[in-house]
Structure 1
């Protein structure tokens, strides 16, 4: 196929500001349909982006049964990921699913099984696996430029709007699931390994009604093999910050900004506390890069690096973190090693665009 045809399922903020504008920047992907509960708004988006079809959710299965699309992009609340993904995979449509992959390990496993049975690919939307800044950080670590990485620390926080569905427990919302997952995923690939134990504390703020159902902030410590440690804080109630530091035996990497898609990643390499090098990543549309990569996988018949098992790993760890917060006791984690990590082969360079409509 020349271009992979996507249906965008869920036309909310992330689809409007990021995914829909990005796809047109690739040379191997296009959006053929929008599936939404607000068809009037979806039609405005479709007209703006030149998308031929708008459907309500009750027409989803008929779309999947047709030959009008090849893949879906699932941008629904976390609680709906598994249902809409499994339906697509069973129909033979490839699925790119926003993180976290699903609220439970069992749902993640069911999604993976549906992919294996049908042969359609399942990819977790880890956009940072495909942009140049993250790959540069990981390649410097692999080349031994800071010695052996021993400690990872990270902070990701901002003020969440009170009407955000990520503040609702029914959708498995909260700062851990929404932004802590970035810190967690970064630590796993910086060390190239899976944690063996987690400890955590959470706070519901100081009487802020936004945090009656989910935490305002979470603080997490993870033990990795070879005596390595990682810590991160994720918060919906602070000033904006997204950064991480990797401390090695011979140097360190400070990365700030680190996680957001609106800005280019910047890294400073230090030795003995003295800055040695500062690099700002080349401009790249993160969502365009991940879509171009997934479309390449589909066209080549190649399983994506950030597959369903990658998404399941973060969900399993986050569930252990929740248990640690609830019980006050450290929790063991047992996961198989990943067969691959982000690298030059997962990198795609897609230019940014200002052509977007946010309703």
Structure 2
């Protein structure tokens, strides 16, 4: 196929500001349908992005049964990921699914099983696996620039407006699931390993009504093999901040900004208190890069690095973090090692665009 044809399922903020503008930049992908419960808004987006078809959720299965799309991009609330993804995979449509992949390990496994049964590919939307800044960090660690990495520390905070679906328990909302997954995923790939133990603490804020159902802030400590430690704090009620630090036996990497798609990732290398070098990631549209990569996988029939198993790994650990937070005790984690990690082969060079329509 010349270009992989995507249906955008859920035309909310992230689709509007990030995914839909990026697809036209890829060269190997296009949007041919929008699935939305808001026909008026979806119609405006379709006209702006030259998308030929808009369908409601009641028309989703008919769209899947048609030959008008090859893949779906699932950008729905977390509670809806599994259902809409499994339906797509069973219909033979490839699925790119926002993180966290699903609510539970069982749902993740059902998605993986549906992919295996139909042969349609499943990819978790870890966009940072496909941009050069994150891979530069991992490359420096792998070649020993800071010696043996021993400690990972991260902070990620934003302000989340009242009424956002990420503040609702029914959708498994909260800062841990929404932005903590970035910190967790980074730590796993920095160490190239899976955590074995976790402790955590949460706060629901100081009588802030936004946090009646989910935590305002969560602090996590993870133990990795070889005595390595990772800590991160995430919040929906603070000033904006996204950064992480990797301390090794011979040096330190400071990544700031680290996670946001609007920014160029910045990296500083220090050793013995002295700055050794600074690096700013080259221009890259994170959403375009991940889409171009997934379309390459579809066209070549190659399974993606950040497949369903990668999404399952983070969901299993997120649930263990929650259990530790609720019990106030340390919880053990048993996760199989991942077969691969982001590297130069997962990067795609896709330019940014300022052309977008956001309601």
The CA deviation at 1:266 is: 0.2
Match of 2:86 in 1: 86
The CA deviation at 1:163 is: 1.5
Match of 2:260 in 1: 260
Match of 1:227 in 2: 227
Three-state SS of the structure 2 residue aligned to 1:26 is coil
- 2:303 matches 1:303: yes
Match of 2:242 in 1: 242
Map 1:262-301 to 2 at 5 A: 262-301=262-301
Q: Please list every run of 5 or more consecutive structure 2 residues that lacks an aligned counterpart in the other structure.
A: none
Counterpart CA distance in 2 for 1:97 and 1:75 is: 7
Aligned pair count reads 359
Match of 1:315 in 2: 315
Counterpart CA distance in 2 for 1:14 and 1:178 is: 12
The CA deviation at 1:317 is: 0.2
- 2:127 matches 1:145: no
The CA deviation at 1:70 is: 0.3
RMSD: 0.4
Counterpart CA distance in 1 for 2:174 and 2:52 is: 35
Map 1:1-359 to 2 at 5 A: 1-359=1-359
With normalisation by structure 1, the TM-score equals: 1.00
Query: Deviating runs (4+, > 3 A) in structure 1?
Result: none
**Can you list the C-alpha shifts for 1:307-353, whole angstroms capped at 9, x where unaligned?**
00000000000000000000001101001100000000000010000
Three-state SS of the structure 2 residue aligned to 1:355 is coil
Q: Please list every run of 5 or more consecutive structure 1 residues that lacks an aligned counterpart in the other structure.
A: none
The CA deviation at 1:273 is: 1.4
**Can you list the C-alpha shifts for 1:169-215, whole angstroms capped at 9, x where unaligned?**
00000000000000000000000000000100000000000000000
Counterpart CA distance in 2 for 1:302 and 1:102 is: 23
Counterpart CA distance in 2 for 1:123 and 1:330 is: 31
Counterpart CA distance in 1 for 2:39 and 2:304 is: 32
Counterpart CA distance in 1 for 2:274 and 2:24 is: 42
Counterpart CA distance in 1 for 2:208 and 2:13 is: 24
Three-state SS of the structure 2 residue aligned to 1:335 is coil
With normalisation by structure 2, the TM-score equals: 1.00
Counterpart CA distance in 2 for 1:301 and 1:239 is: 43
Three-state SS of the structure 2 residue aligned to 1:345 is helix
